[in-house]
Amino acid sequence: MEIIYCDTNYSEQILDIFNDAILNSTALYDYQPRTLENMKSWFEVKNKHHFPVIGITNEAGELLAFGSYGTFRAWPAYKYTVEHSLYVQKDHRGNGLGKIILSEIIKNATRQDYHCLVAGIDSTNQTSIALHESVGFEYSGTIKHAGYKFAKWLDLAFYQLILPTPLHPTED
């Protein structure tokens, strides 16, 4: 296995993982599968803001897992906070890949001088909650009935990790 930084060449594989999560889980509060056109604009935003897309591939170049982060809220005072997400291809869950991706997200966010990582996790996703707690994320609240999917209301739990960066935050 190899840790990589994904570019648009991985769009179809990322799309497959995203669409499986959309259609079969509450990992993404979305209804419709995404398209390759969606992936183009998704990558444009990632590139514009220097948000890495971190992946793990096998020897054959198959994407097994990926994660990234992005803007938490669009106002200037939130500039040191990012919200991340990570996804593992369905046939490779339970093999520790999520923890590897999450560790790489933390390293990259620290290198980029972010201060707070936020995870929005469906409150019934005990696997993701346990993963985040295992690397130091702390529960910070739940928005009840934040989403509606599969004919039921979904509660969104927030977890956060405070990073030791930046050393000299500014308000500019």
Task: Give the pLDDT confidence of 140-152 residue by residue, as tens digits.
Answer: 999 999 999 999 9
Is residue 55 within 8 Å of residue 29, measured between CB atoms?
no
Nearest CA to 137 among 97, 109, 111, 170? Answer: 109
Beta bridge partners of 6: none
User: Strands 81-88 and 116-122, how do they pair?
Assistant: parallel
Instruction: Report which secondary-structure segment, H or E, holds 45.
Output: helix 36-48
- What are the pLDDT digits (tens) for 20-51? 999 999 999 999 999 999 999 999 999 999 99
What domains lie within the chain, and their CATH numbers?
A: 2-162 (3.40.630.30)
Q: How far is the C-alpha of 43 from the C-alpha of 45, rounded, in Å?
A: 5
pTM score: 0.95
